[in-house]
């Protein structure tokens, strides 16, 4: 399993290169084995493909959302995109960004300024750029407040 967010993003790019990018219903294509971008990140972060990824979108979302390493990598990818995640109201007056939907929809949907969704190569390139950004931001030394003593 990856030790860093950047490593998870790079491994997800490798998985999509090997197995293909799935942009249809569910998180894994039952026929081809191609994987959704969020599923690819989960698979490399946690190891293995849950059965729900083939047939149960709601359970798949819950499984991915419960994985801290997968969600950290998904948030890093989301932050590298040129669009913002939509928000979901979880309680009156309490909205949360939907990072899984953001990255999955980005990979599967054509933007308004283009006539096609990103190609698999473009998705892989974006994952690798997000990994480089994650490396760069994790290399910044932490600032610690000094006591006045």
Q: Which of 132, 128, 110, 129 is nearest to 119 (CA)?
A: 110
pLDDT tens digits, 33-66: 999 999 999 999 999 999 999 999 999 999 999 9
Name the residue among 16, 59, 54, 38 with its Cα closest to residue 105. Answer: 38
CA-CA distance, 110 to 61, in Å (whole number)?
Answer: 22
Q: 97 - beta bridge partners? A: 87
Give the global pTM: 0.89
- 91 phi and psi angles, rounded to 5 deg: -160, 160
In this predicted model, what pLDDT tens digit does every residue of 83-113 receive, in sequence order?
Answer: 999 998 989 999 999 999 999 999 999 988 8
Q: Which two tokens stand for residue 147?
A: 């006591």
Mean per-residue pLDDT over the chain, rounded: 92
Q: Using CA atoms, how far apart are residues 5 and 78, in angstroms rounded to an integer?
A: 13
Q: How far, in Å, CA of 30 to CA of 113, rounded?
A: 32
The pLDDT value given to residue 71: 98
| pLDDT value for 57 | 96
């Amino acid at each position: 399993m990856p030790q860093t967010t950047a490593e998870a993003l790079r491994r997800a790019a490798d998985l999509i290169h090997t197995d293909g990018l799935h942009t249809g219903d569910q998180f894994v294509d039952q026929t081809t084995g191609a994987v959704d971008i969020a599923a690819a990140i989960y698979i490399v972060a946690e190891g293995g493909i849950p059965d729900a990824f083939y047939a149960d979108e709601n359970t798949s979302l819950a499984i991915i959302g419960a994985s801290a390493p997968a969600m950290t990598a998904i948030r890093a990818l989301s932050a590298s995109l040129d669009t913002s995640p939509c928000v979901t109201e979880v309680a009156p007056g309490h909205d949360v960004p939907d990072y899984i939907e953001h990255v999955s929809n980005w990979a599967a949907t054509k933007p308004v300024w283009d006539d096609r969704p990103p190609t698999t190569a473009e998705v892989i390139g974006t994952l690798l750029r997000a990994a480089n950004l994650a490396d760069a931001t994790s290399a910044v030394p932490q600032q610690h407040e000094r006591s006045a003593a």
